[in-house]
Amino acid sequence: MSRPKNPHAAKQFFIALTIVLVGVYGGSMLALKKVDQDAAQRHLPARGLGHNMPGVTKEVQEVVDAQKNITPKDEPDNFAWTNDMVWIPAGKFVMGATNGQPDEVPLHEVEVDGFWIDKYEITNRKFKEFVDATGHVTVAEKQPNPADFPGVPAENLKPGSIVFAPPGFEVPLNNHMAWWGYEHYASWKSPKGRDSNISDKMDHPVVHVAWFDAMAYCKWAGKRLPTEAEWERASRGPNNHPYTWGTERKPDGKWHGNIFQGKFPNSDTAVDGFTGTAPVGKFKPNAHGLYDMAGNVWEWCNDWYMPDYYRNSPNKNPQGPEESYDPNEPGVWKKVNRGGSYLCNDVYCSGYRPSMRMKTSPDTGISHTGFRCVKTGPSPEEIAKTLAERKVASAE
């Protein structure tokens, strides 16, 4: 079996190109057409846990190795961790949509066990707590290894991340290079590059975190990343709505999440109140009490991306496929992102729909992607029972 030809796509502009292609146009138009004809290329063997995807660079391997040494932080034994989480009860829902992209079908009923999910996207403040406690260095902050980037001049091999940089003049919307750039020294704490910081953004969602960084955070927090099915169920709310806020696209003529209004990419008119990321929790929560499940930042899920996964995914607690394939970039394994971002233009992109599937290489940080975590049981009833038993025991 040959290695993929282009394993180190993450640090290249065309990764950004694909991301925008997806972000703006909904992306996977090609997906189901190409998925069959390219079948021969997709059957790379499963590599377990997602930590040994093809083409892992030295700096990513360092993050993976460091994650093994992270231990969950100490928590008081009083279930205080439930305070900023919401319980999503076990149940069934119809996953997917027929009015979306080809990778959102077929509609299929999925049963998901109960789980806890963070009310908010992980903020810079919370990510800093994690970094301070563990010394975690994100993929974006790592020095690229010359051996992983043959032919790239040494002076260009600097740490960095992909930053949204609108050109300031009109550009054709098929020229995705026009508004993404690889910014040296951009990272979660310097989101626009070396001279930027997050001092006025501590309550904004953390960005420029690769999937591996998100995994490390969740492990430290005693949590995990959501599956795609868990995320969609939580976003839709108990009545399985097509939008996280309900049944209409724009109730009361207002946007109910932080997306992009105006002429993309240069003039975000911020009708929703924000250009760029917004502090978390500025829009009404959904029926479960979850904030920013639409817009603000895309959120990493645990699952590998496969455009035709719904054709034969398990109907109980689907965990995602064991391999990944993106017809737009064969050979580059990608993880699923959900929820849309502040760059979802209301004309071109409907990434804020709960069923919309986006995908990014897990070693890639970018200025519109963050995450939130989930946790498996105990349920609120079990917790209440435990607390009641403790009360009785202490009274005796």
Site residues, Ca ion (CB under 5 A): 258, 272, 274, 342
Which is nearer to Ca ion, 22 or 343 (by Cβ)? Answer: 343
Min CB(297)–Ca ion separation in Å: 12
Alpha-carbon span 234 to 89, nearest angstrom:
10
Which is nearer to Ca ion, 214 or 294 (by Cβ)? Answer: 294
Handedness of CA 155, 157, 158, 162 (dihedral sign): positive
Which is nearer to Ca ion, 128 or 249 (by Cβ)? Answer: 249
The DSSP symbol for 390 reads: H
Alpha-carbon span 138 to 356, nearest angstrom:
27
Which is nearer to Ca ion, 93 or 255 (by Cβ)? Answer: 255
How far, CA to CA in Å, does 86 sit from each of 83, 127, 232, 287?
8, 20, 14, 11
Alpha-carbon span 362 to 254, nearest angstrom:
34
Min CB(269)–Ca ion separation in Å: 9
376, 232, 251: which is closest to 294 by C-alpha?
A: 232
Min CB(367)–Ca ion separation in Å: 14
Min CB(206)–Ca ion separation in Å: 18
Q: At what angle do helices 58-68 and 211-220 cross, to 10 degrees?
A: 10
Which is nearer to Ca ion, 283 or 342 (by Cβ)? Answer: 342
Which is nearer to Ca ion, 158 or 250 (by Cβ)? Answer: 250
Q: How far apart are the first and last CA of the chain?
A: 67
Min CB(83)–Ca ion separation in Å: 28
Min CB(254)–Ca ion separation in Å: 12
Alpha-carbon span 264 to 170, nearest angstrom:
9
Which is nearer to Ca ion, 6 or 267 (by Cβ)? Answer: 267
Which is nearer to Ca ion, 220 or 342 (by Cβ)? Answer: 342
Min CB(40)–Ca ion separation in Å: 42
Handedness of CA 313, 318, 321, 325 (dihedral sign): positive
Min CB(251)–Ca ion separation in Å: 17
How far, CA to CA in Å, does 323 sit from each of 42, 50, 52, 70, 190?
8, 9, 11, 26, 33
By three-state DSSP, how is residue 40 classified?
Answer: helix
Place of tokens 């940089």: 165
- Radius of gyration (C-alpha) of the chain in whole angstroms: 20
The DSSP symbol for 276 reads: S
